[in-house]
Structure 1
Amino acid sequence: MLKKVKVSLRPIVGKINLPTVLKTAILPGDSMERLFIATQVGEIFYIKNGVIRTFLDIRPRIIKLGFSGGRYDERGLLGLAFHPGFYYNGLFYLHYSVAGTQGPGALPSSEVSRQGLPEFFKPNPCDPRTLNLKWVNREIQYDHIDTVEEWILQSNGQPQKRRTLLNLRRPFFNHNGVNSLNFSPETGKLVLTTGDGGSGYDPFNSSQDDMEIAGKIIEIDVAKNTFINNPPVVTRFNELPAPIQETLTVIAKGVRNIPGISFQRFYNQYIKYVGIVGQDLVESIFSFVHYKSIPVPQLIQASLMKSEPDQEGFINFGWRGWEGAFPTSIIRGCSGNPTLDEKTIAYYNDAVKTSVQRLQPLTSYLHKDPRPGKFGGTALTGVQSYMGNGIPDLTGSVVFTDFARDEESQPPNRGVLAYTRVRPDCKLSDFSVIETDYNFGSQSAYYASLGTNLDQTRLYLGVYGSMNVTDLNQGTIFEIVP
């Protein structure tokens, strides 16, 4: 049984834009770690002596947020990572959606519909055409372009862009990942975690296609210089120039959408924790220690030979056939009794195909869960291991956040903080809600991001007062304290 844990939230800074990344770094010439906050609209702040200071403002470089009249958006400044040698070399990395790249969005194959996919696609198991959609005319039918860049903090204190590592064309506005750049303490490489490209139910099955960059966890060797400063805009690994292919390895596939990766030191190795955002049924957290990564040139070679690369030990999270511990389902309401929603397997063949290859989740939590002490989730927004002693009941555990509790009742909406632990018998772990004592009053409080300091002894929570990125300055950053 997991203990009931209570914590306090201590506000650090308020009235900022929607926070996407919270992490600490030691600035060159400084003596202490500072908390850095990246916002979806394109600002990066840090806190020094209790004062918020601007590190970088790239708002003009960010795509206009609030798509097609709606105000909820999953694009913007999504990733920030500091090089392990940042203190000495000033290098840091950004992932964001580029200004001026708004496209019309992806169209499915023409026989299904000429109007394009609805904003959120659902397959129809009775109509095979909806199960095998292809993304065609990608050069013109796309939503936006994401970029991954290397920047340097110059000796005069001004950050400057050095080079672009990747330019990715994305089919839809959603599932671009968040907190999407992190350095692996094992390999020293930059880890890029993005989603399957969006809409719903991964209409093009990008997450399982070895050539698609979408739906993978990718390591980038930033020590290799490709001497290509402006790489082409691509969607598939085989469209990349060879020098860029040689900097990339793939750790995992079968990703729907992902709020980053967390590395927890365990004796002389690291446990990796990955949260996968669910579709209509369940949110999941996975953990693994050993894995076999596949260099991109090897993947491309296998694709050319029409052979399967050796995927023994290659991590597969199972999407789109599996949603965490369940075969991916479409849900139809029962008119007679709403509590008895009918669940139909969406992609039976995909579920069969990946059933033995996939990794089982560490824990899953449902969108509807009547059990006492549980909650209905909406979307996983952060997963971090906690190694501090300040909150002893959480030491060694994995803390996670959900955007908003799925309450049938009226607003204000509230996010959820919870935790789980790895079980020695490798069975599916339980999870427990962490109670907080902070009073948000009548204001909504969506839990948008979770971060830690360098040695994972402190936890930071980013809260927003609205789910719309176009509602500005409604963010508060808290430290989670005993």
Structure 2
Amino acid sequence: MIKVKVSLRPIVSKINLPTVVKTTILPGDSIESLFIATQVGEIFYIGNGGIRTFLDIRPRIIKLGGSSGGYDERGLLGLAFHPEFYYNGLFYLHYSVAGTQGPVAFSESFKPNPCDPKTLNQRWINRETQYDHIDTVEEWSLQSNGQPQKRRTLLNLRRPFLNHNGVNSLNFSPETGKLVLTTGDGGAAYDPFNLSQDNMEIAGKIIEMDVVKNTFINNPPVVTRFNELPAPIQETLTVMAKGVRNIPGISFQRFYNQYIKYVGNVGQDLVESIFSFVHYKPIPVTQLVQASLMNSEPNQEGFVNFGWRGWEGGFPTSTKGGCSENPTLDEKTIAYYNEAVNTSVSRLKPLTSYFHKDQRPDKFGGTALTGVQAYMGNGIPDLTGSVVFSDLARVEESRSPVRGVLAYTRVRTDGKLNDFSVIETDYNFGSQSAYYVSLGTNLDQTKLYLGVYGSMKVTDCNQGTVFEIVP
């Protein structure tokens, strides 16, 4: 693939973890404003040359970084503007709620052991008391006086562990007009409760929400499963995909009269993967619940399954150190062999993957996928029509300080898997670390924005910079 070089132009600096970067047109304005949501709960916008606070919900956010040495995957995770925001002022938030800290689902670190079947079939019991926190999805409105105000709560989700809650988790589909929520598998490692493949579990799914339908339930119950939701809420939801480990959002790319959907699935030990699909057949939650009541399988033809936890991207999920007594072997054992077999045909194959270890000179060892965005601009011609992705930190033992990575790929006309190419950047971060934590775009996908942080600790304040990626 063509080698691409870009520049990074700083737009705003000294902010907290920039988890969501996107644009919209404010009521009364004629041009787009850039919005930045930070993990700690601030939302800023940039217009007329200055940065202003749009909303500050820090008091509503769970206390971050306390139990994990400063690292956290909770907080303000999703921001989406209604397609008619200019006229109706509606926008949507996904965040981890203050005061909901629980004792987690289980305390010991989890790793499946194929030699011990007990570790392969864990159950999440006592969910009302054994959980980590509660996430909420809310509808807000920008009032005529310019002040945002909460209107209603759409979902309250109890999460078993601190991590894998999704990020950039709310986006509107230009295809259906529905709000798309991407949820992670609930956390820990290896999806210990196999929530991502269970049709009743809300975790590990891509969910479409019809926000036009008013359920008249403004404070829904806290749930973990679809069948725990009141019927009016069930009727607003369809499930677009399952088999999700953790997702940095979904990107839609118009292709003639269709949309290509791009989704990145964050890997476990081996590989990070980007998936693409055009056609899909979502299943209404009411159908899933009905099938569960009748102890039958719903029709899943056309339903997207990314394969987790049986598959990590294009590979059967493996765990290091199998049953061998030889410690010198870098042995990997298929952790969930039966699940890998059962989903081998039904799962979607990745468009491209990159590895945590890769000796090829023009590639890189990755850490975690943090953004996937289609690019339709002409400013960087070699990227036009491609999908750009970002990784948190390049794995290089000899290199300090840390640097993130940009790369790109594109859909092949023959439908086969494609390779990827690293995008070279010329920005000098000096001695400061640069974790690439988010990727964003504008309304017509002609611009790309990159959120960078100097530390992976949420307790290290104001080390973030948002760049525009330019030729």
- State the TM-score, normalized to the length of structure 1: 0.96
1:211-250 equivalences in 2 (<5 Å): 211-250=200-239
Report what 2:406 is aligned to: 417
Report what 1:458 is aligned to: 447
- 2:24 is the counterpart of 1:33: no
Using the alignment, how far apart are the partners of 2:215 and 2:416 within structure 1? Answer: 44
- 2:316 is the counterpart of 1:327: yes
What whole-Å deviation, never above 9, does each CA across 1:82-112 have from its counterpart, x for those lacking one? 00000000000000000000000003xxxxx
What whole-Å deviation, never above 9, does each CA across 1:399-424 have from its counterpart, x for those lacking one? 00000001112420000000001111
Using the alignment, how far apart are the partners of 1:335 and 1:364 within structure 2? Answer: 32
Using the alignment, how far apart are the partners of 1:455 and 1:67 within structure 2? Answer: 39
Q: Equivalent of 1:301, from 271, 286, 290? A: 290
1:112-261 equivalences in 2 (<5 Å): 116-118=107-109, 121-261=110-250
- Judge conservation of contact 1:281–1:366 (CA < 8 Å) in 2: yes
Using the alignment, how far apart are the partners of 2:116 and 2:320 within structure 1? Answer: 16
Counterpart AA for 1:18: L
1:260-299 equivalences in 2 (<5 Å): 260-299=249-288
Worse overlay, 342-351 or 11-20:
342-351
Report what 1:434 is aligned to: 423
Report what 2:359 is aligned to: 370
- 2:307 is the counterpart of 1:318: yes
Q: Any idea what SS the aligned residue of 1:423 has? A: coil
Counterpart AA for 1:129: K
Using the alignment, how far apart are the partners of 2:27 and 2:344 within structure 1? Answer: 48
Counterpart AA for 2:369: L
Report what 2:373 is aligned to: 384
Using the alignment, how far apart are the partners of 1:85 and 1:335 within structure 2? Answer: 62
What whole-Å deviation, never above 9, does each CA across 1:320-344 have from its counterpart, x for those lacking one? 0000000011124999998x73221
The runs of 5 or more residues in structure 1 that have no matched partner are: 108-115
Using the alignment, how far apart are the partners of 1:46 and 1:464 within structure 2? Answer: 18
What whole-Å deviation, never above 9, does each CA across 1:128-149 have from its counterpart, x for those lacking one? 1011100000000000000000
Using the alignment, how far apart are the partners of 1:367 and 1:227 within structure 2? Answer: 47
Q: Any idea what SS the aligned residue of 1:68 has? A: coil
What whole-Å deviation, never above 9, does each CA across 1:48-87 have from its counterpart, x for those lacking one? 1221100000000000000414111000000000000000
Identity of aligned residues (%): 85
Using the alignment, how far apart are the partners of 1:180 and 1:411 within structure 2? Answer: 31
Using the alignment, how far apart are the partners of 1:36 and 1:3 within structure 2? Answer: 32
Q: Any idea what SS the aligned residue of 2:436 has? A: strand
Using the alignment, how far apart are the partners of 1:363 and 1:332 within structure 2? Answer: 27
Worse overlay, 421-430 or 440-449:
421-430
Report what 2:382 is aligned to: 393
- Judge conservation of contact 1:106–1:117 (CA < 8 Å) in 2: no
Counterpart AA for 2:172: F
- 2:469 is the counterpart of 1:476: no
Report what 2:392 is aligned to: 403
Using the alignment, how far apart are the partners of 2:68 and 2:217 within structure 1? Answer: 37
Q: Any idea what SS the aligned residue of 1:36 has? A: strand
What root-mean-square deviation, in Å, do the aligned CA atoms of Structure 1 and Structure 2 show? 1.3
- 2:90 is the counterpart of 1:82: no
Query: 1:253 and 1:173, CA in 2 relative to 1: closer, same or farther beyond 3 A?
Result: same
Using the alignment, how far apart are the partners of 1:195 and 1:341 within structure 2? Answer: 29
Counterpart AA for 2:284: P
Using the alignment, how far apart are the partners of 2:254 and 2:272 within structure 1? Answer: 24
Using the alignment, how far apart are the partners of 1:102 and 1:316 within structure 2? Answer: 31
Using the alignment, how far apart are the partners of 2:327 and 2:360 within structure 1? Answer: 19
Query: 1:223 and 1:444, CA in 2 relative to 1: closer, same or farther beyond 3 A?
Result: same
Report what 2:9 is aligned to: 10
Using the alignment, how far apart are the partners of 1:248 and 1:290 within structure 2? Answer: 19
Shift of 1:165: 0.1
Query: 1:453 and 1:335, CA in 2 relative to 1: closer, same or farther beyond 3 A?
Result: farther
Using the alignment, how far apart are the partners of 1:33 and 1:11 within structure 2? Answer: 18
Using the alignment, how far apart are the partners of 1:329 and 1:409 within structure 2? Answer: 27
Using the alignment, how far apart are the partners of 1:281 and 1:372 within structure 2? Answer: 18
- Judge conservation of contact 1:98–1:145 (CA < 8 Å) in 2: yes
1:350-365 equivalences in 2 (<5 Å): 350-365=339-354
Query: 1:335 and 1:409, CA in 2 relative to 1: closer, same or farther beyond 3 A?
Result: farther
Counterpart AA for 2:282: S
Q: Any idea what SS the aligned residue of 2:113 has? A: coil
What whole-Å deviation, never above 9, does each CA across 1:335-365 have from its counterpart, x for those lacking one? 9998x73221111111011111100000010
Paired residues, number: 470
Report what 1:449 is aligned to: 438
Report what 2:56 is aligned to: 57
Counterpart AA for 1:77: L
Report what 2:42 is aligned to: 43
Report what 1:111 is aligned to: none
Shift of 1:369: 0.4
The runs of 5 or more residues in structure 2 that have no matched partner are: none
What whole-Å deviation, never above 9, does each CA across 1:256-300 have from its counterpart, x for those lacking one? 000000000000000000000000000000000000000000000
Q: Any idea what SS the aligned residue of 1:471 has? A: coil
Q: Any idea what SS the aligned residue of 1:210 has? A: coil
Shift of 1:4: 0.3
Report what 2:102 is aligned to: 103
Q: Any idea what SS the aligned residue of 2:30 has? A: coil
Report what 1:68 is aligned to: 67
Counterpart AA for 1:22: V
Q: Which runs of 4+ in 1 moved over 2 A?
A: 331-338
Q: Any idea what SS the aligned residue of 1:96 has? A: strand
Q: Any idea what SS the aligned residue of 2:67 has? A: helix
Counterpart AA for 1:88: Y
